[in-house]
Structure 1
């Protein structure tokens, strides 16, 4: 059963400017995400950051909490070897998801400087 659906859009050029601020990077991206971003250069870094940020906001919308529902660093977005994105949840986000028997599903795309994320929270009850 679907618990919630969320989507978000983020501009890569806006994210490129934000990535220049270490405080922003530390507040928004977990250490694992920071490592992922450091592996990617140029426009790929900004596109990945924009997609990850959009994924976090889409998750919060699907959860019904909006920004401030969980720490953004508790919503880590990584990629499988195939490139498929997935969440690694920690802290209160992981506890809330487990307590509500939820499985997050994530799809990301980017084109023409925009990154889009779509999240479905599936309830397993």
Structure 2
């Protein structure tokens, strides 16, 4: 059963400028995400940071919590070996997802300086409920 769907669009130039501000990266991105971003070229870093930011906002929309629901750094968006994005949740966000028995699906795309993310929260219920 689908618990929630969220979508967000983010301008990579805006995130690129924000990354220059002291504290922004630590507020928004988990250490593992920061490591991912540091290993990219400037253009790819801005696009990836924007896609990750969009995914975090899409997650909050799908959860129905808004921006105050969870700390953004609790919603780490990483990449599998094949490049597929996935969330690595921590803190209240991880507890919230586990308590509800959710699977988090995420899809990202970016082009011409814009990054888009879609998040689907899937709830698993035992058969017969």
TM-score over 0.5 for the alignment? Answer: yes
Supply the distance in 2 between the matched residues of 1:68 and 1:89 (Cα, whole angstroms): 16
Q: Any idea what the Cα deviations from partners look like across 1:33-91, whole Å, max 9, x if unmatched?
A: 00000001211000000000000000000000010100001000000111100000000
CA distances 1:10-50 after superposition (whole Å, capped 9, x unpaired): 00011110111131111000000000000012110000000
Q: Distance in 2 between matches of 1:8 and 1:17?
A: 19
Distance in structure 2 (CA, Å) of the matches to 1:58 and 1:64: 10
After TM superposition, the runs of 4+ consecutive aligned structure 1 residues lying more than 2 A away are none
Matched, 1:58 2:62: no
Asked if 1:79 is matched to 2:61, the reply is no
Structure 2 equivalent of residue 46 of structure 1: 46
SS of match in other structure, 1:22:
coil
1:10 aligns with 2:10: yes
1:101: Cα distance to partner? Answer: 0.8
Unaligned residue ranges in structure 2 (runs of 5+): none
Q: Which has the larger radius of gyration?
A: 2
| Whole-angstrom distance in 2 between the partners of 1:42 and 1:75 | 23
Normalised by the length of structure 2, the TM-score is 0.95
Pair 1:22-2:22 in alignment: yes
Residues 88-115 of structure 1, C-alpha deviations (whole Å, 9 max, x = no match): 0000000000111111000000001000
Flag structure 1 segments of 5+ consecutive residues without an equivalent.
Answer: none
Q: Name the Cα RMSD after superposition.
A: 0.5
